[in-house]
Structure formats: C-alpha cells, structure tokens
Structure 1
C-alpha cells in the first residue's frame, strides 16, 4: 500500500468535492451571461451555483494546512506547485499556438511563458503560504493555547465580522486570509474539544450556514425587483471571509474530518489530480475557450440553468481530471526527480529554514 493510499480518504474525497464546487463557480462567473443587473430566475440560479467558489478554495487550503501543521519545511512543496504551473502554461501555450494562434497577443504570450506571480491568483498565494509554513509553525509551537485563541478571535473580528457588515477589513488580502485559515486549522488540530470533534455540530453548522446563504441570495434578488441596485448583493455573503462562507467552510471541513476514517485507492488517486484540474480550466486563455463554448447565456429557466451548470461543470471537471491523470502517469516521475534536485540545490545554497 502506498503512502497516498494510507491517507484518510475523507480528506481526499473532500478535496475532490471542493474542486468540483470551484468548477461550478467558474461556470457561474465566467460564462457569457451578462444581465446580472436585471432580475431573472437565471441570475438567481447562477448566484446559487456561485456559492461553491470561495467555499471550495477555503476547504482546499484547510485540507493542505491540516497536513502541514507541525511538519518540517520541504522546498519540494512550493517548487512542485510552481513546476506544475509552468508545465501546464507551457503545454497549453503549445496547444493554443497550434490550434488558436489568433487569440495570442504579445502580453498573453509573456503571461503564459512567465505565469508567476500574477497569472494565477490561487496557486501564487498558495506557494507563498507554503513558503511561510516554517514561520507559522514556529509561531504556533512557541505561543500558548490562550495566545493562539486570542489571535484567532482578533483576526476573526477584523477579517470576518467587520467585512460581513460591509466594512473594510484592516490588512486583509488573499495571502493573509490563507494564513488565517492555517492558524484556524492549527488551533483545531492541536487543541481539540468536544464541540469541534462532534460530527453532529459540524453537520448542523454546515446546513445552518448553507440555508442562510441560500436565503440571503433569494432575499437580495427579491429586493432587487424593486431596488435594482440590491441585485449585486446576491453574492455578497459568498466571499472567502464572509461569515456565511466561513460557516459553510468550517462546517463542511469539520464534517469530513470527524467522520470515521477510511482509505480508498480510487479516491486517493483521483484527488491527486485536483490541483491540475484548477491549473487547466482556470488558465486564463483556456478559461475563455471553455466557458465561451459552454455559454451559460443560452439557458432559460431556473432549474434548466442549475441542471446545465452542474452537467457542464461535471464534463469539464472529468475532462481536466483525466488530462491531469495522464500527465501524472507520464511526466510525474521526471517532475518529482526535478523537484528533489531543485530542493537539494536550494538546501545546499540557501538553507533558509532550520527547525528550532
């Protein structure tokens, strides 16, 4: 049995679910539907499909954090992510150059050849989080439970509650939010309690938050019939750090964490492809090609939009998963050796991170 097979498949299954939610979200935001400032049942459906985006990103970061808290730093982790970014950008550049060269401009060519740091927001910030893990783990080891709890309470107030009241969160950024999620997961992992270990609590938190999320979407869209400027608030509580999304993320993550552990080879193998799914379908030029052809503006009716969004997203998700599995089978042995070689060189030349 491989090391991957020994991992708790609850987390691997949740990784798969979170990436599918992200793909569904991208169906909602990247399609050709452009009348979000007008009330329609199609807009309400797209707002509901929008829910999974930041929810999925939060969970993806939380899963990674759970396995990194307390672990020694390895250069191969951020290096591996960067290599995957380059492989997919360069590979997709060749594909587009062969089949759609008319959409390439000088700026797009440069961005595809040099995607770091501005081309992908999520992988860029995730690499930076990985680089910060030795500092975060050092902080977590050195402070008391009370100090860590106080830190989380303070950050929750200024980065969750304040923005949820439509005020500006001080010092908030994508990277700072990933750090917050890391510290939150660290606290839950290192200082477990009866409530946070309860599957019942996790399920209730998730379903309560999800119900309120849907209600908020319906409420603002209904108000938008009379006050059109309120239609934009349909997705207000769906941001990464909004209180309902935090409740959804924490509830769903705890739900899977607290389930009885099991191991499934197929789930674990499929989960390895999830980061590749993101890199393929969210590559900016591929994003344009995929969702232009999917075209969510062609659908009429609430349930038709929901069904079309889920089916189209499933097709994109499965297609990208198969592509990444093929890439893993063919290229990963070589790419893994490259990551280890770069790690050795960085350790010998820099030696930045030493466990204390």
Structure 2
C-alpha cells in the first residue's frame, strides 16, 4: 500500500511560522530600544509592535500544526525523547563552541551546578519546554478529546479561552488588583499549549463550512491581520504601546483567531514538494540554534544592529526581513549539515535506545 504523502501546504506553513518567530526575535531582542516610547521613532515602534503580533502568531501556528497531527496518533516516547536529545545536542554543542572561541564571553555558566542542575542544559528554551510537556501530555489530552462530544469540547475550549485569554490579558492591562495573578487561574505558556491542542483537535474533527472553505478562511485571516495593523498604528504613546502589546501576547484572542483562519486555509490547500517537506524538518533546529542563550545576543546585538535603521519604519522592517532571511537560511544549513547528516545516526540511536527503555519500563 502506498504511503500517504505529506501535505506540503502545511509544511510550508510550518516554515513560514518559524520565519515569523525569527523575525519577531529581531524586533524583541535587537538593539533598537522601543521602551521608553520616543515619538522620534514612532514608525519603527509601530512596526516593532506589529512584529510582536506576527511572532506570537508564528508560535501558535507552529503548535497548532503539531497538535493537528498528534491528536489522532498513538503516543510513543520517540517524539519527546528525540526533541529532548536534539535540544541537549544544540544546547551543549553551542555552549562548547562559545566556550572554545570566546571563553570570557559565557556569562556566569562556568559553575557545574548552573550548567547541569536541575537538568543538564546550559541554555534553556521556554517554547521547547512547553512543547515537550505537551508531547508527554498527548495521550491524556487525546483521552479527553475522544470522550467529549462536539458540544462539550467546544464548551471546554470556550471556558479556557475566557480564563487564559480574556481574563489573563485583562489582568495584564488592568494590573492594579492586589494579590491577583494570571497563574492563579491556571494560565502558563504550557497550559495554553493544551488549549491550542484542543482547538486543533476541534478543527480536525469538526471543521464546518467556514473553516473548510479557502475563501472564507482567507477573508477571515485578512480581516484579523488588518485589525492588528490598525491597532499597531494606534500606538502613539507608551501607555497605548504597552496596552496593545498585551493584546498581541501569545494568548491573545486575536492571535488565536488569526491562527485558526490561517491554519485552516493552508489545511484546505494541497500540493506536494519534497524540497519544502525536507526544509520543514529543520524548523526546530532553526529555533534551537538562533534562540540559544549565547547565540541570541551574538546575532541581534553584535552582528545586526536594528537601532541603525530605527529612524524609518520602512527601513526598520526591510532590514528585519534581510536579517531574518540570513539567520533563517544559515541555521537551516547548519541543522542539515550537523544534526541531519553528520550526527544523524548517533542521535537516532540514542533516541531509539532511550525510547525503547522507557517503553519497557511503562508497559502494563
């Protein structure tokens, strides 16, 4: 029986999502300091604010793509273990490279305790941690999904959106309530990934007329993006900038709605490209390399200086596209050459050994 080919449209979206994340890091971690608000740089500040939205959109879409496929698969240890080993490979590998060529530039990580405890990683990644937890939670999330009717799953999603989107963002914007915190209601980046998982499962199981239409989903996505652009242009002072930035956080209802429309559009499009499918396999590698704690300041502070182009919103944006394209292409090539060619057999062997061991230990 011929294996079903991967939909390259979704793999293309995976690539675009990671590109959006890298572009967001250009805005977030670059030398241009948008805070405090300076009217002299209003154009660049508004572009920077939109890139906040754009990057969070990339995060939600990337998780949504993975969850869409995972929600109907059987759990195995290979997925989370492979991601853990890949993370350790890049975290230690990049640390050792910087330690070798710039031994005085590694900030405060010479302590063995700091490097190895409470788990052995010199550099941390919040996104990867949350994604790994989601992978381990996958069988339990799938049990919930299988045992809920369409109405009850929708009710669960609405309830979590009210708690982890509207309420948590409201607490950020109106932050003067004493002793009231967003995590009091269960919101963390990790738990929000669970919400994205449920949304993805709903799309896969119960997509209706609107989400199954390329026309409707394109219109919905365009309207959402235009709203984000409009909100970005309203940031004419520091208070408005901070308030709109809260609306553009990863748990924003606008970000989630935009992601649903964009993902559904790409899901409804179908084509096959071996090149796109192959490049998409390096997207976690792109994240792990460019967002490493030691690589990140080297890229956005030492190599590229966004502050030089802050006088013009257009120049600031175009320079960001150029920087992001360079970083993206180089990190894809590094991941292909190192993880997928040179160390491929070694990493796969370690993954297989550890996964088989855990399968035996947890077999009932």
Q: Separation in 2 of the partners of 1:205 and 1:68? A: 26
Change (3 A) 1:331 1:118: closer
Are 2:214 and 2:268, in contact at CA under 8 Å, matched by a contact in 1? yes
Change (3 A) 1:135 1:100: same
The answer for the alignment partner of 2:125 in structure 1 is: 120
Are 1:146 and 2:151 counterparts? yes
Q: Separation in 1 of the partners of 2:123 and 2:298? A: 20
Are 1:318 and 2:329 counterparts? yes
The answer for the alignment partner of 1:16 in structure 2 is: 15
Are 1:210 and 2:225 counterparts? yes
1:161 to 137, 159, 166: 166
**In the TM superposition, what are the counterparts of 1:1-356 in structure 2 within 5 Å?**
6-37=5-36, 38-39=38-39, 40=41, 41-107=43-109, 114=119, 119-165=124-170, 166=173, 170-219=185-234, 221-222=235-236, 224=237, 228-259=238-269, 261-292=270-301, 293-299=303-309, 300-327=311-338, 328-351=340-363
Cα deviations by residue, 1:141-189 (Å, 9 ceiling, x for unpaired): 1222221111112112222233454466521111111000101111111
Moved more, 60-69 or 138-147: 138-147
Moved more, 316-325 or 149-158: 149-158
Q: Separation in 2 of the partners of 1:30 and 1:140? A: 38
Q: Which runs of 5+ in 1 are unaligned?
A: none
Q: Separation in 1 of the partners of 2:161 and 2:225? A: 19
- Could you tell me how far 1:229 is from its partner in structure 2? 2.8
Q: Separation in 1 of the partners of 2:47 and 2:108? A: 37
Change (3 A) 1:294 1:108: farther
- Could you tell me how far 1:234 is from its partner in structure 2? 4.0
Change (3 A) 1:153 1:345: same
Are 1:68 and 1:133, in contact at CA under 8 Å, matched by a contact in 2? yes
Q: Separation in 2 of the partners of 1:211 and 1:83? A: 40
Q: Separation in 1 of the partners of 2:141 and 2:158? A: 17
Root-mean-square deviation over aligned CA pairs: 2.1
Are 1:75 and 1:346, in contact at CA under 8 Å, matched by a contact in 2? yes
- Could you tell me how far 1:117 is from its partner in structure 2? 10
Q: Which runs of 5+ in 2 are unaligned?
A: 175-180
The answer for the alignment partner of 2:177 in structure 1 is: none
TM (norm. structure 1) is 0.91
